[in-house]
Amino acid sequence: MQILITFIIISIICLILTYYFNLFISKSVYTRSELSNILPQLGSMINTIYYRYSIIYLAGFYLLSGLMGILLLSLFENWIINSALIPVILFYSAPKLAVYFEQTRVTISENYKDIAEALYSKYYNYILSGFSAGYASKLIENCFTNSFISFTWFIINFLIIIAIAVLALRNDIFE
């Protein structure tokens, strides 16, 4: 239960950081309301997501990929697995895989493989973001509760994983 609460908090923090990252990348002069009044901006971001995607599929893929990230770190205590290596590999391979699936996709098919490929191509940024948030949630527990890794190793990898989640969200919401 504690990991799921951490997962939800990290997901909200990633959404907030996505807004600020996009703001700082897109502008050089900021108004006070842009910096301090974040709730309308988050509402706008959520509306953008809501109108583009099925919320049931989105939430399902986000939660499933987050649980996969949690499960992966639950199975292994190795310091290499408890690093940002797997999320970095996924960050670089997920878009390439989505493009490949999109190029080889059959337009009308009842085959489950084709349906899964089409869904992956559409939701891969949220799958990657959910995996990263779940991975970061379990990484917190592995550092502070289980003491598998040192704090320095944790903070470096945690920041990389959060950056991956923010970039994946920004690629979809603002691009």
Please tell me the pTM assigned to this model.
0.89
Contacts (Cβ under 8 Å, ≥6 apart) of 95: 124, 171
Token code pair at residue 41 = 């901006």
- Tell me the per-residue pLDDT of 55-99, one tens digit each, with 9 for 90 and over: 999 999 999 999 999 999 888 878 888 889 999 999 999 888 888
Structural domain including 38 reads 2-173
3-state secondary structure the chain: CHHHHHHHHHHHHHHHHHHHHHHHHHCCCCCHHHHHCHHHHHHHHHHHHHHHCCHHHHHHHHHHHHHHHHHHHHHCCCCCCCCCHHHHHHHHHHHHHHHHHHHCCCCCCCCHHHHHHHHHHHHHHHHHHHHHHHHHHHHHHHHHCCCCCCHHHHHHHHHHHHHHHHHHHHHHHCC
* DSSP structure class, residue 152: H
Residues of the chain with confidence (pLDDT) below 50: none
Q: How many domains does the chain have?
A: 1
What pLDDT is attached to residue 106?
65
